[in-house]
Amino acid sequence: MITLTDSPIAVEKVIAEVSTVAEAGAIDIFIGTVRNHNEGRQITHLEYEAYVPMSLREMEKIARMAEQQWPVKKLAIIHRTGRLTIGEVAVVVAVATPHRKEAFEACRYVIDTLKTTVPIWKKEYFEGGEWWVETHP
């Protein structure tokens, strides 16, 4: 399951998706949510935009790289697009592996790489303005 969606992410469905493998003894999940502040500003909401074809290709590439480096049995990456309010889930990464160490490492790799390479852009709206957040250093 690798997708972009403009609908709310059902975290329990993502967990169920990666929980179907009998040889997986560990599932690590990263859930990114919209917080109410950044750099001293009170955030009111966010908007995510993505170049969908390239974003999906990059997400698939990240999944393949994780599967080559760790014994990944099942993996899911879901990222929201559109307008999100405070507390909403923006991204979920779930990785099932035989052991916890590999699950943690693979999950961290996926989210860190996604944030630096996938063409998804975040605009923060705050009291008095808005700005695009630098996510690809």
pLDDT tens track for 37-85: 887 889 999 999 999 999 999 999 999 999 999 999 999 999 999 999 9
Predicted confidence at residue 135, as pLDDT, reads 62
Classify 2-6+13-128 by CATH class: alpha beta
Instruction: Give the H or E element holding residue 105.
Output: helix 100-117
| Token code pair at residue 77 | 């990456």
Predicted confidence at residue 137, as pLDDT, reads 47
The full DSSP string for 31-59 is EEE--SEETTEEEEEEEEEE-HHHHHHHH
Q: Domain residue spans in the chain?
A: 2-6+13-128
Q: Is residue 120 within 8 Å of 49, Cβ to Cβ?
A: yes
Taking the CA atoms of residue 28, residue 25, residue 67 and residue 34 in that order, the dihedral angle to the nearest 10 degrees is: -10
pLDDT tens track for 87-99: 999 999 999 999 9
| Residues in Cβ contact with 33 at an 8 Å cutoff, skipping those fewer than 6 apart | 87, 88, 89, 90
| 88: amino acid identity, one letter | E
State the chain's mean pLDDT as an integer. 94
pLDDT tens track for 70-80: 999 999 999 99
Highest mean pLDDT among 29-38, 40-49, 102-111: 102-111
Which residues are 27's β-sheet partners? 96
Q: Rounded to an integer, what distance in angstroms lies between the CA atom of residue 99 and that of residue 86?
A: 34
Tally Cβ neighbours within 10 Å of residue 46: 22
